[in-house]
Amino acid sequence: MKEILFSDICSFFPRRKDDAHKGDFGRLLCITGSLRMPGAAAMASYAALRSGVGLLTTATAEKNISAISSHCFESMYLPLRTDENGFITWSGNEEILTELVEKSDAVLIGCGLGITKETIILTKNIIKRTKGILIIDADGLNAVSNDIDIILKRKENTILTPHPGEMARILNTSIQKVQYDREYTIHNAMKLLPETVIILKGHGTIVGCKEGVYINPTGNPGMSRGGSGDVLAGMVASFAAQGLKPINAAIAGVYIHGMAGDIASGKYSQSAMLPRDIIECIPEVFMKIEESKI
């Protein structure tokens, strides 16, 4: 198992050309949130923008958009129909989502979606239709944990971001067994899903792919809050949309996420820091990356 190095991360981000434009840095579609969990969509979107994506569309429950857009100005928004409880449906949204999925370099699905019959149908249809890099997080993983074959059929260009509970569901085991030997767990997951990139979140986040297994040295216990995973998912999706290979997008995501979290803990303390503080510290990480190229 190889430790991720800061020099590895710097190599993924060349200096931007003077004549660069927004189209050079990817199109990302985030299908996230529900009426109960608008913050998941907001944090994933804002983190994606702070991580450098050129064009972002946030597809979320229609009633969420006024609240999210007041904090996240730079995203475009796609209002989606929901059921009576505020969870996004596939029916009524399929045409516009299919059109956008086909135009996107990367698609993120799962953060704050909730689990209903319709969100399961939605997730499975997005998995089938996405031609670019697909990042599946949170309830997107829960939606397909009993139907892993649907991910196997994609073969490549898929990144999964499970926490230990979600990994336990994927492997049909217990959280205790997942955590007892995390390296053994990631190898088991790669046997099940050999063409995917898998990020096993937690202390010493591990990234696994067919090329190898990598451990992240950054991060701290102050990041153990609801919403930190949404931030990570948005970052990884942003890097994938910008053209990083799936494994490099995953490695960069976990390292920069942890490094921003370390900066945040130094400013606000591990007890008081919030996931939004991680996002606000991403620019300081990129300052260090850009300084390494002078």
At 204-237, the pLDDT tens digits run 999 999 989 999 999 999 999 999 999 999 999 9
CATH architecture of 2-12+20-291: 3-Layer(aba) Sandwich (3.40)
H helix or E strand, kind and range, residue 47:
helix 38-50
* pLDDT per residue as tens digits for the range 107-121: 999 999 999 999 999
- Tell me the whole-structure pTM to 2 decimals: 0.98
Tokens of 111: 């953060």
Contacts of 95 (CB under 8 A, 6+ apart): none
Going from N- to C-terminal start, the domains of the chain cover 2-12+20-291
Using pLDDT thresholds of 50, 70 and 90, give the confidence band for residue 94: very high
Burial class (CB in 10 A: 0-12, 13-18, 19+), 43: buried
Give the burial string for 90-103 (b: 16+ CB within 10 Å, else e). beebeeebeebbee
* pLDDT per residue as tens digits for the range 30-47: 999 999 999 999 999 999
